[in-house]
Amino acid sequence: MNISRFFGITSREAMRQVRMALGPDALIVSNRRVGGGVEILAADASGVPPNASAPVTPTVAIEPSHGSLKSTPGRQPDYGNASEAGVLHAIGTLQGALEGRLDELLWSHQMRHTPVALSLFQQLLASGFSITLLRALLRRLPETLGERAAMQWVRAELEQRLPMLRSEEQLWQPGLALALVGPTGVGKTTTLAKLAARAVRRFGPEQVVLITTDTYRIGAHEQLKIYGDLLRIPVHVVQDAQQLRQVLLAQRPDQLILIDNVGISQRDQYVLEQASLLANTGRRIQRLLVLNAGSQGDTLDEVARSYSKDGGTPLIGCIISKLDEAIRLGATLDTAIRFKLPVHYVSDGQKVPENLRYPSAADLVGLSLQSRHHNAALFTPSQADLAAMLNHDSRVDVQYLQREHERRVALLPKLLAAATPTDFGMLSVEQTSAALGMLDDSALFTEAFDLWRAASDLSAQGATEHNASVSQRLLQTALQELSEPLQQPALVSHVLRASAPGQAEQQLFSTVFTPTGQVLCTPYYQTLGAASWSNSLGEQALEQRLPMQAICAAMNDIQALSAAHTIWHLCSAGTPTQVRLLLAQPCNWIAHISPTQKIWHKGIATLPSAIAKEVVFDAVPDLASSIRLQGWEDMFLGELSLWYASTPVQYKARGQEDVALHMLTLRVVRRSDGQLLKSFYALYHHQYGPILSFPQMAAGVLASITYQESLRWHNAMQTHLQGLGVQEPHPLLVAQLSLAAANVVYGADNQLVCRVAAALLGTKQLKKSQAVPALLKLLILKEAIS
């Protein structure tokens, strides 16, 4: 009799797994609470011979001090009589039922009284995540978070729980023998060819060997041989364990071996035979399970369970295939989390070797949470459906919300009185709550608040991998913000600053904006020394990197992290050499130039300021909705009008063909008297994806120039953080907080936030010089209420 272990968050969930795996007649060997869940040992009843003696079950006794059940595995029960055994069995069953019922009541209570949890449950269920994982996740959700902050909390939790291959070097070791296993049709052969191409690039064709055991599928080994011929590597076809052993023993110990296996249904008994074949070859073979991202969650669960318990060598992880065909990615990530299968690669197409990526946890979680509005939610309950299933009692909810409101109303004045040095009667509790709610709805402030709370983890001397994951998460969050409700291009501004006054070291910060100039985050930076450089992704080198080289490297890094999202990069290009470097980059860019920089127009060398006198300008319509800024310099946006003009120009370089570009001219004009306040000139180059409209370009240019002031606040922010006990603030933390402080001053519709911030500082009007301490006061107040 084979005894299997099942684990679930509740007794009901664990029993559901038993029934799915062993059927309704399974024998329950033991049932106990472990590690925050329920563990059940069960056996298949069909495996017990009819004349066998009673199965070996744990001794069950009641501990007088706790009244709980205690089991001693491996011993026959010493019951006084059969009736006593029946009583104890009934008690154990009753305890399991009571635990399950209490668990259901607690879960139902949370869904009734936490609207944010209910909304998240519905969204994550629609993304494909299982109810089991969602219960374990949302039980820990802080009740005071707003909807946006709660989603960011969930995103961070999923990224932390999702097991990932730490680095590709961890997998690709000389002498590696790797086998892909999984059901039929998941793409094992194509994926193996992509892995082979990566191995050839790393080790050379003489170090790589392909083996296939798939002699059942027509044309399977011929397909692999074609790939082998293209890569100039040998391919061996084996039909049984003896042939496989001979081929493996004939290879050198340092050679890398990749094995393609026949696809087997998870319900086929041959799964066990295949596992035995790979485990008895005389050479350790590591196995990767290929999971089809387009499969249903229950199917993926059954596949992972079958191949995890097939008696072979433990699975070292999984590869997610057919990502391009999947509607929802949540079920695949859910399976990887629950079965602890580190994700090694994802395959998103048929092209070999292009369509194989080494992803990050932030990339996968962000992709799983992306909305796909063109797909009707045919198989997912709506919030109304969930409310109906919960038998919602509005009176209870009103009472709960009323008590929560009264608690906050009683707490907030005390906090405000302690936070401000003056009489706070000029600002009401409702206004303060409304201002904090506005900040909760801001992706920028939410990320700044999360980094603020994790300041001790994100230190300048912290783990490189952790800091790199934070950088990637910030970018993915910004791209997610741009994807809802429409897929909008992202604008990324690259600006240099001195690390500290009097120092030669420089830092390059890359900041993400929406096409309307709304700032989202600063996810990336580089530090440029006299003879070295490093970046927020953990990369570094002992070599000099010039400013424009750093900008081009930042463009490429962000393009690589943003996958298929359209990015427009903003920077400055003061010399022809810098323009030439930009032209070599395969991306869209807008580069500020000076009014006296030499340029060609209609075949004649001229200046941008001269060209601007000949072009026709158009006004940006509805400026307040086109640009999400309070104003520019010391003037409100309503006092200004913005005019733009675009004209084709040429770039000429000695020994090179002329390059066609466009020049954008912007003019900021005072509306009352028509006085020209400022002119800006920029070159732009479109390579791929949708082109920005001229109002969007104008918004991006004006916003990037406006928010450059936040760079001047870095030193002040660092000093304030050190005064609060953060000894070595990380550049990402300093940049994000400085950007949030600038947004308090410059962001659109932030008048109420400015009033609250000014009152916290004891002034009636917030000055730019007070932005840093004002933001920190808001963070402290927000944390105290939370």
Q: Tens digit of pLDDT for each residue in 658-673? A: 788 999 999 999 998 9
Q: How many angstroms separate the CA atoms of 682 and 702, rounded?
A: 11
Q: How many angstroms separate the CA atoms of 758 and 765, rounded?
A: 6
Per-residue model confidence as pLDDT tens digits over 739-750: 999 998 888 888
pLDDT band at 396 (very low <50, low <70, confident <90, very high): very low
Q: Which domain holds residue 323?
A: 168-359
Domain of 685, CATH number, reads 3.90.350
541, burial (CB in 10 Å: exposed 0-12, middle 13-18, buried 19+): exposed
Residue whose C-alpha is closest to residue 637's, from 621, 619, 620, 623: 623
pLDDT given for residue 712 in this prediction: 87
pLDDT given for residue 321 in this prediction: 92
Statement to judge: residues 537 and 618 lie in one domain = yes
> Average of pLDDT values for 751-778?
85
Per-residue model confidence as pLDDT tens digits over 533-544: 999 888 899 999
Cβ neighbours of residue 407 closer than 8 Å, sequence gap 6 or more:
none
Q: How many angstroms separate the CA atoms of 318 and 139, rounded?
A: 28
Domain of 313, CATH number, reads 3.40.50.300
Residue whose C-alpha is closest to residue 551's, from 523, 509, 489: 509
Statement to judge: residues 180 and 109 lie in one domain = no
Statement to judge: residues 578 and 692 lie in one domain = yes
pLDDT exceeds 70 at position 595: yes
Is 299 domain-assigned?
A: yes
pLDDT exceeds 70 at position 67: no
pLDDT exceeds 70 at position 58: no
Is 364 domain-assigned?
A: no
Is 147 domain-assigned?
A: no
Statement to judge: residues 593 and 673 lie in one domain = yes
Statement to judge: residues 187 and 326 lie in one domain = yes
Q: Is the CB of residue 361 less than 8 Å from the CB of residue 162?
A: yes
Per-residue model confidence as pLDDT tens digits over 160-218: 889 998 888 888 888 888 989 888 888 888 898 899 988 888 888 888 898 888 766 55
List b or e across 398-417, with b for residues whose CB sees 16 or more CB atoms inside 10 angstroms: eeeeeeeeeeeeeebeebbe
Statement to judge: residues 638 and 730 lie in one domain = yes
Statement to judge: residues 584 and 659 lie in one domain = yes
> Average of pLDDT values for 275-299?
86
Q: Give the mean pLDDT of the chain.
A: 78
182: number of Cβ within 10 Å: 25
Tally of structural domains, the chain: 3
pLDDT given for residue 461 in this prediction: 41
> Higher model confidence: residue 392 or residue 247?
247
Is 439 domain-assigned?
A: no
Is 576 domain-assigned?
A: yes
Statement to judge: residues 246 and 344 lie in one domain = yes
Question: Which one of 67, 90, 113 terminates a domain?
Answer: 113
Per-residue model confidence as pLDDT tens digits over 267-286: 777 788 788 888 777 788 88
Q: Look up residue 389 and give its amino acid.
A: M
Per-residue model confidence as pLDDT tens digits over 89-133: 555 555 555 445 445 544 555 555 566 777 788 788 888 888 888
Per-residue model confidence as pLDDT tens digits over 434-478: 787 788 778 888 888 888 877 765 554 444 555 677 888 888 888
Is 307 domain-assigned?
A: yes
545, burial (CB in 10 Å: exposed 0-12, middle 13-18, buried 19+): buried
> Higher model confidence: residue 761 or residue 71?
761
Name beta bridge partners: 481: none
Statement to judge: residues 667 and 580 lie in one domain = yes
Q: Is the CB of residue 189 less than 8 Å from the CB of residue 215?
A: no
Dihedral angle over CA of 86, 87, 92, 95, nearest 10: 140
Cβ neighbours of residue 753 closer than 8 Å, sequence gap 6 or more:
435, 438, 439, 744, 747, 778
DSSP H helical ranges for 619-663: 623-626
Q: How many angstroms separate the CA atoms of 268 and 343, rounded?
A: 25
Statement to judge: residues 101 and 196 lie in one domain = no
pLDDT band at 85 (very low <50, low <70, confident <90, very high): low
Is 632 domain-assigned?
A: yes
DSSP code at position 541: E
Statement to judge: residues 509 and 612 lie in one domain = yes
Rounded to 5°, angle at Cα 85 from 81 and 87? 115
Question: Which one of 312, 329, 359 terminates a domain?
Answer: 359
pLDDT given for residue 720 in this prediction: 87
Per-residue model confidence as pLDDT tens digits over 483-525: 765 678 899 999 998 876 666 789 999 999 999 888 999 999 9
pLDDT given for residue 373 in this prediction: 41
pLDDT given for residue 526 in this prediction: 93
Query: pTM (2 decimals)?
Result: 0.58
Q: How many angstroms separate the CA atoms of 287 and 200, rounded?
A: 20
Statement to judge: residues 322 and 235 lie in one domain = yes
Q: How many angstroms separate the CA atoms of 304 and 339, rounded?
A: 7
Per-residue model confidence as pLDDT tens digits over 698-736: 988 998 988 888 888 888 898 888 888 787 888 888 999
Is 705 domain-assigned?
A: yes
Per-residue model confidence as pLDDT tens digits over 619-677: 998 888 888 888 888 788 888 999 999 999 988 766 677 788 999 999 999 998 999 99
What is the distance of C-alpha 360 from the center of its chain?
Answer: 8
376, burial (CB in 10 Å: exposed 0-12, middle 13-18, buried 19+): exposed
